Amino acid sequence: MHRIKFMIKQFLTEPLWFKLLISTTLLISIIFSSSYYSKHAYFQSISKAAAAIFFIAYGIKMRRSRVTAVILFTSAVVCIYLAILAI
């Protein structure tokens, strides 16, 4: 629970552009992966690309923790691969 509170507090102290980037990519990823858009490969690809941007942004932010950064960058690479594959 303390870790979650720390992450929320850290998110609130971030610059506005970072908050907008993270919120927008997360929202795009959720919306375009919904059941309505899931029938179209183009929207699935956009969803996976937005998730990759989300993971890259947090990977750069968390680069002090090498394990966390590697996990986030690996997730971004997988999302990019799946986005290309979905087209």
Average pLDDT of span 12-35: 91
Above 90 in pLDDT, residue 36? no
| DSSP of 2-16 | HHHHHHHHHHHTS-H
Residue (of 59, 64, 65) closest to 77 by Cα position: 59
For the chain, the structural domain boundaries read 16-86
Contact 50, 29 (CB under 8 A): yes
* pTM for the full predicted model: 0.86
Report the mean per-residue pLDDT for the chain: 90
